[in-house]
Amino acid sequence: MAKTKVQILETGASPAQDASPGGYKVFNRIIDWITNDRLQLLNITDRINEIVRKSGIQDGLVHLQSLHTTSAVFINEWQDALIHDVKNFFEQVVLRDQYYRHNDPEHSDCERKNADSHLRGMLMGQTLCLQVRNASVLLGTWQSIIFAEFDGPRSRSLAVQVSGI
Amino acid sequence: MAKTKVQILETGASPAQDASPGGYKVFNRIIDWITNDRLQLLNITDRINEIVRKSGIQDGLVHLQSLHTTSAVFINEWQDALIHDVKNFFEQVVLRDQYYRHNDPEHSDCERKNADSHLRGMLMGQTLCLQVRNASVLLGTWQSIIFAEFDGPRSRSLAVQVSGI
Amino acid sequence: MAKTKVQILETGASPAQDASPGGYKVFNRIIDWITNDRLQLLNITDRINEIVRKSGIQDGLVHLQSLHTTSAVFINEWQDALIHDVKNFFEQVVLRDQYYRHNDPEHSDCERKNADSHLRGMLMGQTLCLQVRNASVLLGTWQSIIFAEFDGPRSRSLAVQVSGI
């Protein structure tokens, strides 16, 4: 992943919605990337932890939602060799080069020929919800939060919501 | 999907559980369908948005949970050509016509021969959690909420819970 | 599953974080298992319901998060014949015996040769969020909560968080 340059912008900042002093709060952010490759994985763990810390929330949930169908968010170990295997798995479980109506001009006006990207995003899911404990994201020793680009290069937005007390 | 007639009933309505004036609330609903085909996809986005609006909740989460193992809820673009590809993908990734113990009277008392339906539901997941922002479900431009029937025709129930402030 | 002996320990108990009398609460627990097989499924429904009851929360969410990448949590019917089919499905959809860089000493220092376990965990997901209604986990008639071990035997921890009112 050495040559991957990812630009991260923080937009859409909203003040925490505080229900009552010391009570339940909701803290919303949108973070943005520009991806470089058609199939690309990004380790976004540090960025999510930073937002959780900023929220001031000690206990609750952090919810991640990619705003694009041809992307996904999930957990895995972040190791170069494994990331290579993960990409191969996506290419095997959903083939790019087979007939799809979504890629056929007779049935679809989509010019990106990205039916495989849609199926990969759907299979892995665009959302991930994790626990917040002691003011940080709960993760096991080998767990990283991974954003998957399935139809890059593109500008991508991830909505992050921290809620709790 | 033109010939699909889906009946939607709203049942199990409960008043919002309001913790304190202006504070955290939980709003529960059950919505019902009668599906028409063995493998059928339904766009339920408008129904979910309607429930979120009724809840009066501005910021928080909306959680969807199908109460049936042989069904699923997920996100994808709602385009006829793609929906056709999605159905084909389910038929390819989990084959219907292979040996399953669940379909074998020697091992199972299930008469529906629906092992494939169970595996498809398990793979895609019966739950989906999305963010509520500005009193509506947060969705990207091309994101629709899709309910998948894997063993219809049947009566199906989806539990919807909106929580937040 | 008759010969499976699973030891369940409850650790990391924390008092419920109570925001205000009658208000939003967060209740955290960690439960532990020692698994027996490389690929093993456990029905953890009763354990989760017990924690929800202890939490005293009537309406809200229960969030489950396995702290290990080579494991998963999901819903399915708990029937012996079907559990057999589910295991076969995992072995088919992600092959163990093919080349993976993660298993290759030239690319990886992982001695467990468990690339397949990582891919199975990633595909199924380490988290599951369910609704709490009337002080118990909302589940359909045939829905059980299943923990999947993909790289046992091992000691495993599941973080359970109940939040709501």
Span B126-146, mean pLDDT?
98
Instruction: Name the minimum distance, in Å, from the CA of B8 to any CA of chain A.
Output: 25
Return the residue in B25, B97, B101, B150 with the most chain C beta carbons within 10 A, the one to mutate for interface testing: B101
Q: What is the pLDDT of residue C54?
A: 98
Task: Judge residue B96's burial from the number of C-beta atoms within 10 Å of its C-beta, 0-12 exposed, 13-18 middle, 19 or more buried.
Answer: middle
> Where do the DSSP E strands lie in C13-154?
17-18, 25-34, 40-43, 60-66, 71-76, 127-133, 136-137, 144-149
Q: What is the pLDDT of residues C67-114, one digit of tens each?
A: 999 999 999 999 999 999 999 999 999 999 999 999 999 999 999 999
Mode of pairing for the β-strands spanning B40-43 and C40-43: unpaired
Q: What is the pLDDT of residue C16?
A: 52
Instruction: Name the minimum distance, in Å, from the CA of C105 to any CA of chain B.
Output: 31
Least confident span in B21-35, B62-76, B92-106, C90-104: B21-35
Span A50-64, mean pLDDT?
98
pLDDT band at A5 (very low <50, low <70, confident <90, very high): very low
Place of tokens 């993908």: B89
Instruction: Name the minimum distance, in Å, from the CA of B32 to any CA of chain A.
Output: 24
Quote the pTM value: 0.92
Whether chain A has a CB inside 8 Å of the CB on B127: the answer is no
Q: Does residue C33 sit in helix, strand or coil?
A: strand
With contact defined as beta carbons under 8 Å apart, do C162 and C27 qualify? yes
Residue in A closest to C113 by C-alpha: A82
Return the C-alpha torsion angle A48, C28, A127, C118, nearest 10: 90
How far apart (Å, rounded) are the C-alpha atoms in residues B76 and C37? 36
Span A119-130, mean pLDDT?
98
pLDDT band at A152 (very low <50, low <70, confident <90, very high): very high
What type of residue is C110?
C
- List chain C residues with pLDDT less than 70: 1-22
CB count within 10 Å of CB B142 equals 16
How far apart (Å, rounded) are the C-alpha atoms in residues B131 and B163? 10
Residue in B closest to A71 by C-alpha: B76
Whether chain C has a CB inside 8 Å of the CB on B29: the answer is no
Span A125-147, mean pLDDT?
98
Q: What is the pLDDT of residue A16?
A: 52
pLDDT band at B2 (very low <50, low <70, confident <90, very high): very low
Look at A101 and B124 and tell me if their CB atoms are within 8 Å: no
Interface B-C, measured as beta-carbon pairs within 8 A, has a size of 112
pLDDT at residue B9 is higher than 80: no
Whether chain A has a CB inside 8 Å of the CB on B152: the answer is no
Least confident span in A14-18, B145-149, B152-156, C96-100: A14-18
- B8 against A23, higher pLDDT: A23
ipTM for the predicted complex comes to 0.90
- Which chains have at least 3 CB atom pairs separated by less than 8 Å from chain A? B, C
pLDDT band at A21 (very low <50, low <70, confident <90, very high): low
CB count within 10 Å of CB C107 equals 16
Is the four-CA dihedral A90, A92, A94, A95 of positive or negative sign?
Answer: positive
pLDDT band at A17 (very low <50, low <70, confident <90, very high): low
How far apart (Å, rounded) are the C-alpha atoms in residues B138 and B162? 13
How far apart (Å, rounded) are the C-alpha atoms in residues A159 and B10? 30
Per the omega criterion (within 30 degrees of 0), is the bond before B15 cis? no
Q: Compute the mean pLDDT over every residue in chain B, rounded to the nearest whole number.
A: 91
